[in-house]
Amino acid sequence: MILLPRRRRWRLILSAAAASAVILTGMTVPAAAHAADPLVYEAEDATLSGGAGVNQNHLGYSGTGFVDGFVIDHVGTAAVAFDVDVPAAGEYGLNLRYANGLGSDMTLSQVIGDEDRRLVLPSAAGASWSQWFIHQEVVTLAAGPQRITYRFDADDTGNVNLDAIALTSVGDLSTPAGGATDPGDVPGTGPDTRWDAVTTAIPTVAAGRAGVAYEAEDAFTANGAAPAAGADAVDLTAGRARIVFTTSAADQRSQKVSLRYRSTSSDPLRLVVGIDGVPRGALLLPPSAQWRDIAFTAALRAGLGTIELRRVGDEVDGELAVDALRIQRGTEMSVRGAHQGTTVYEAEHGLTDGHILAESRVFHELAAEASGRQAVTLASPGESVAWTLTAPAGALEARVSIPDSADGSGQDGMLAVYAGPKKIADLPVTSRYAWVYGAYPYGNDRAQGGAQRFFDDARVTFPQVPAGTTLRLVVESGDLPYTVDLIETESAPVALPKPDGYLDVRDFGATADDDTDDTAAIDAAVAAAQERATGVWIPHGRFTITDRVRLVGVAVRGAGPWLSVLQGQDGRGGLYAMGSGVTVADLMIDGDADHRDDARSDSGLEGNFGQGSLVQNVWIAHTKTGLWVDAGTDGLPAVGLRVRDTFADGIHLHGGVTDAVVAHASVRNTGDDAMAMWSSGGTVTRGVFTHATVQSPLLGNGAAIYGGDSNRVTDSVIADTLTAPAGIAVSTRFNPVPFSGTTTVSGNDIFRSGGWEPNWSTSFGGIWVFADTSHITTPVVISHTRIIDSTYEGLLVSGSHWVNDLRVDDVTIEGTGSYAVAARVGGDHRFRDVVVSGVSEPADGRNHLWGTFIDEGGNTGLLAAASAPCAVDVKSAPAREGSFTATVTLRNTGSTELQASTLSWHAAGGEAVQRAPGAAVTQNGSRVEIALEGAQVRPGASRTFAISGTVNAGRLATPAAFALDGVACGG
């Protein structure tokens, strides 16, 4: 106890276990006294100040809400003051009912008269914000009116919610609201029972072998689903086990779906089948100790979808395992990156009479924020940029920059969309959600200088046009310059049907496209759907919401994200999950945030999703964060998300989240990490980011794992990080729960990533392993990954602690701005089959290997520069109307047979290599890659192939250098 006489302040640090009276020297201790019944005071009825406010976005509170706002923005100001009437002088138990979902102790100050106590308010492992705790302080009070205040002082950690207080007898912890939440009965947790009553049998048909198979071990699993013994399969014996297959169908016609399973149960077993989150019936599986195929027919949506198999609590007297699912007219999905049925066309790869910006990686320069680090500026009426479509299109998204307004609030413009000579649409563009200034977290005051965040995404639909169409964006009038980064096209959207029984929000008073507030109507529809055990339908139209719509045990669906839109207002509005059984699908959440304001703006989709939830085919733009998954989530597949133009993270798994898998997400233009897992106060366990496409995060990393257990980033494409970034970070920054299990970074392509951290005056690598607040002693595996054209290091390992089990296997580092590998910490660092080329070696060498370097063999170019025995010759004809043809000849200059899988080079600005007959061609930014399918070239022999595409110059420029399978040609 410390006396601070100048403030007449007593500061006592007491834990929740403390129940002894605080006795001031010289005082007489009164006898115990308490009211005949406990006196309860609700926090929402108290006097609130300094940012404290009433909320209802968690469950289990008493009264009409609880008080939150004890966050970093309100440190030193947030307070709740209770005016109580003490019936008699004496000693009381003062109970505070609070929630702490962070998994670690937090503190607030309790002030009564001149006495100030610092309260330590514990959490519990895995606690959610709907679990309430009781903290009792023994206090001595005089009779009559008293004020009891809880404050977030400067030396407190805050971040708790307050429900109510009670004056009661010492030792009585049963009040207010019945006391603490039973850990086994936390509202919103436990099984999702929405499908338990599904008993209608699905008719089965003869299984077939045709189609595309999806392996169970690659699917999402949770709630007891586990690897099957002795097989690459999934055991679904547990009573609530679930497995969700992500599929891709060629069309929406009914087709055969086959399941391969085995069951040692003596009776048929029931699996409830869901298609895209809607239960369709029960599949009865006859006993079969051997693998058996069973099939049914289903109408699947064209493109990306999900098929779920769920156990609903039935007892099983044997084992049930699933091997694979096969759909009759399936399509193969992207090996790396998101499979969303869209096609991206870079502006600098089109034909233009505008100005192609030179490549830049300099913070605050326009081109540095562009995908591929280049874009096209159309400065005058009549100027255009054009592409030849490689797939049909009826919808277009464009990433465009126009100047800010003089007052920093932004302005609007218009581009025309032409198909050949015919105008088919107007594309509205704006800078209202772009252009921020000053220091982090950046605002809209132009006087602060340091402009950044130049681009915004706009979208439009139009009548479908076929592949081969020349699509143009044209400036028709005005003096605004338009800088076009890219367009992304897809087929015209088809309205999805309303599921049977769903409640239409218009029947509860919501009105589309009129800017009136529809929040109350949607809330009413949600409440009715919960009562009737059905879902909520958001029809075609734009519906305004001004607060978060709270969800538990209910589905909210729309006609598709191009058609059904929830429009935020004044930075607010989104969907908020509060527990198990939340489905959000087929809609857009479009905010209106124009700068980062963590305390006063909402995420698009946020909360504790409990068990049995699903997020699918949701588009989120112009919000604080896109998807924020919080503690208490126990199994969440999030499939087919698009996140655009957020001011903080795009996708974030926070705290005690288990088995959350984000698959086939497209994330672009975020204001912080594009995707992050942060084990803050609780452990993110088995989190997965897979098959993601990340473009141009403006601050922070493409993907980051901050601590946690057995988390993974796999099969993704990440490009063009800007400031304080890595392509992928594995880190103990921000004091997370330390790493456990194996952390995996595998199967990724990382382009033009890493960057400069101006606050630290240091560089970050394409991949960055950072042992900051704790050692990293469990395995970090980086495998089957390519790090291409890093701004600085290819791989950076740094920090003030050790990284003691780093395993780098089958990694290509092609092109760096500094070191290939800078491993500047102690520990065992193993390298196998690492290929390195194009290193811009600093004066002290190509690597920093300060730990224990273990060479496990197969490394090429890692310790010293290497070259492949090849030479390449390019011959091109003069371009005609923007099109070029050329031949590329690869010659073996060595004495042994040359194995050739890929040949890569960098094209000049304004060049796009689009075709190579007999080989696959891809181009990311300026980097062109031709897949040669393992060609074998004898010594002295050569292989010649043709390429063609578009060029804005008179002919194709001759590339300066080539790499064969990641090794520079020239030996």
For 300-337, the pLDDT digits (tens) are 999 999 999 999 999 889 999 999 999 999 999 999 99
Calculate mean pLDDT across residues 481-505.
Answer: 97
Strand partners, 429: 413
The pLDDT of 146-163, averaged and rounded, is: 97
Q: At the topology level of CATH, where does 343-490 sit?
A: Jelly Rolls (2.60.120)
What was the pLDDT predicted at 13? 41
Beta strand 927-937 pairing with 376-378: unpaired
Lookup result for tokens 């040949």: 903
Per-residue tokens: 817: 């701005």
* Res 34: pLDDT: 53
257: which 2 tokens? 């779906």
Pull the structure tokens for residue 418: 């032409």
Residue 634 contacts residue 661 (beta carbons within 8 Å): no
Q: Give the containing element (helix H, strand E) for 472.
A: strand 470-474
Per-residue pLDDT for 17 more than 60? no
pLDDT digits (tens, 9 = 90+) for 409-436: 999 999 999 999 999 999 999 999 999 9
d(CA 177, CA 119): 21
Residue 883 confidence (pLDDT) above 90: yes
Sequence length of the chain is: 971
Q: Which residues, in sequence order, are CB contacts of 781 under 8 Å at separation 6+?
A: 742, 743, 744, 745, 746, 807, 809
Please name the residues in contact with 387: beta carbons below 8 A apart, sequence gap of 6 or more: 345, 349, 350, 351, 470, 471, 472, 487
831-873 confidence digits (pLDDT tens): 999 999 999 999 999 999 999 999 999 999 999 999 999 999 9
pLDDT of 33-52, one tens digit each?
555 689 999 999 999 999 99
pLDDT at 14 over 50: no
The fraction of the chain above a pLDDT of 70, given in percent, is 96
Which homologous superfamily is 2-185 in?
A: Galactose-binding domain-like (2.60.120.260)
Q: What is the average pLDDT value for the chain, to the nearest integer?
A: 94
> Among the CATH numbers 2.60.120.260, 3.90.226.10, 3.40.640.10, 3.40.50.300, which is that of 212-327?
2.60.120.260
Band (22; pLDDT cuts 50, 70, 90): very low
Whether pLDDT at 96 is above 70: yes
User: Which residue has better confidence, 7 or 495?
Assistant: 495
The whole-number pLDDT of residue 126 equals: 78
Q: Mind listing the pLDDT tens digit for each residue in 707-720?
A: 999 999 999 999 99
Contact 458, 430 (CB under 8 A): yes
Q: How far apart are CA 525 and CA 736, in angstroms?
A: 39
Collapsed DSSP state (helix, strand, coil) of residue 422: strand
Torsion, Cα of 220, 226, 231, 232 (10° steps):
20
Fold of 494-648: Pectate Lyase C-like (2.160.20)
Report residue 509 as tokens. Answer: 């008073």
Q: With a cut of 70, say whether residue 735 has pLDDT above it.
A: yes
Alpha carbon distance 127, 108 (integer Å): 19
What is the C-alpha separation between 794 and 799, in angstroms, rounded? Answer: 17
Q: Mean pLDDT across the stretch 722-742?
A: 97
Distance CA 22, CA 35 (A): 20
> Helix, strand or coil for residue 670?
coil
**Residue 729 half-sphere exposure, CB side, CA atoms within 13 Å?**
29
Look up residue 620 and give its two tokens.
Answer: 């989120």
- Sign of dihedral through CA atoms 628, 631, 632, 636? positive
At 888-938, the pLDDT tens digits run: 999 999 999 999 999 999 999 999 999 999 899 999 999 999 999 888 999
- Both tokens of 84, joined, read 């109580």
516 vs 509: CA distance, rounded Å: 11
Dist CA 884 CA 564 (whole Å): 43
Please check the confidence at residue 20 and state whether its pLDDT lies above 50: no
Nearest Cα to 621, choosing from 542, 531, 506, 730?
542
Q: Which of 575, 549, 565, 569 lies closest to 627, judged by CA? A: 575
> Would you say the CATH fold of 212-327 matches that of 2-185?
yes
Distance in angstroms (rounded) separating the CA atoms of residues 340 and 663: 11
Apex CA 189: angle with CA 188 and CA 194, to 5°?
A: 75
Q: Is 348 helix (H, G, I), strand (E, B) or coil?
A: helix
| pLDDT tens digits, 813-840 | 999 999 999 999 999 999 999 999 999 9
Q: Each residue of 757-767: b (16+ CB within 10 Å) or e?
A: eeeeeebbbbb
CATH 2.60.40.290 fits 870-968, yes or no: yes
Distance from the Cα of residue 928 to its chain's centroid: 28
Q: Break the chain down into helix, strand, coil percent, rounded to 5.
A: 5, 50, 45
Report residue 323 as tokens. 């091997």
Average the pLDDT over 613-619 and give the result. 98
Are 747 and 927 in contact by the 8 Å Cβ rule? The answer is no
Burial of residue 185 (CB within 10 Å: 0-12, 13-18, 19+) is: exposed
- pLDDT higher than 90, residue 759: yes
* Residue-range domain boundaries for the chain: 2-185, 212-327, 343-490, 494-648, 870-968
Please list, in sequence order, all residues whose beta carbon lies within 8 angstroms of the beta carbon of residue 659, skipping any fewer than 6 positions away: 220, 221, 222, 223, 634, 635, 636, 685, 686, 687
Residue 6, phi then psi, degrees to nearest 5: -65, -25
Report pTM: 0.94
What is the structure's pLDDT at 25?
28
Residue 600's φ and ψ, nearest 5 degrees, are -125, 20
